[in-house]
């Protein structure tokens, strides 16, 4: 089995159920695009490797979503540097938005939209998020909503003791 670029970046070919290949690809590409790196050929090649002949269209859909998000978002987003092993809160919000769209979780999708965009701008962001979710699903890149960062029951009990 050949190691992809994403496997090389993450240093592993094992993807946990909570953060799979779709999440890795989305966050990695998002970071490269936002940080202004020369992402064209490198990101394009990874999308082609991952999505086959649909790679360019999926990347264009991500680009459209990102442009809408940047122009519509209530505030400047916090995006991690390429290679950083942890997610920022805003990256988590983006993953949760797209995962909710993919998984038909309308209440969560609406909540994420409310967090990210003003009421008048939500339809545009919703349309681009659903398009990205559909493009990823079509290429078998199903996102799982990131696990909550709330303390577990054991941690809450320890904190209250």
From first to last of the 161 residues of the chain, give the pLDDT tens digit: 333 434 434 444 343 346 788 998 999 898 988 877 666 788 889 999 999 999 999 999 999 999 999 898 888 888 888 888 888 888 999 999 999 999 999 999 999 999 899 899 999 999 999 999 999 999 999 998 655 554 444 444 444 54
pLDDT for 150 equals 45
Listed residue (63, 145, 51) closest to 104, CA to CA: 145
- Two tokens, residue 107: 């209440």
Q: What is the pLDDT of residue 127?
A: 97
DSSP 146: P
| The pLDDT value given to residue 154 | 45
3 and 39 in contact (C-beta within 8 Å)? no
CB atoms within 10 A of CB 108: 16
pLDDT value at residue 81: 85
Which pLDDT does position 139 carry in this prediction?
A: 95
The pTM for the full model equals 0.77
Give φ, ψ of 49 to 5 degrees: -60, -40
Domain ranges of the chain: 17-160
The three-state (H, E, C) secondary structure of 74-118, written as one string: CCCCCCCCCCCCCCCHHHHHHHHHHHHHHCCCHHHHHHHHHHHEC
Q: For position 10, what pLDDT does the model report?
A: 43
CA separation for the pair 30, 158 (Å, rounded): 37
Q: What length is written for the chain?
A: 161
Give the chain's count of helices (H) and strands (E). Answer: 8, 0
The pLDDT of residue 6: 41
**What count of Cα atoms within 13 Å lies in the side-chain half-sphere of residue 135?**
24
Whole-angstrom distance, CA of residue 5 vs CA of residue 3: 7
> What is the model's pLDDT at position 38?
60
State the pLDDT at residue 85.
82
């Amino acid at each position: 089995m050949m190691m992809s670029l994403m496997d090389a970046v993450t240093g592993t070919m094992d993807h946990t159920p909570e953060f799979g290949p779709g999440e890795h690809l989305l966050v990695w590409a998002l970071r490269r695009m936002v940080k202004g790196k020369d992402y064209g050929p490198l990101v394009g090649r990874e999308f082609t490797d991952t999505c086959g002949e649909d790679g360019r269209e999926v990347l264009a859909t991500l680009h459209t979503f990102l442009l809408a998000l940047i122009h519509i978002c209530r505030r400047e987003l916090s995006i991690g540097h390429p290679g950083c092993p942890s997610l920022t809160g805003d990256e988590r919000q983006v993953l949760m938005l797209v995962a909710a769209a993919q998984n038909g979780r309308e209440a969560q999708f609406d909540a994420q939209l409310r967090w990210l965009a003003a009421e008048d701008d939500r339809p545009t962001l919703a349309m681009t998020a659903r398009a990205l979710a559909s493009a990823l699903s079509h290429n078998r890149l199903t996102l799982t909503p990131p696990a909550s960062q709330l303390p577990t029951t054991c941690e809450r009990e320890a904190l209250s003791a």
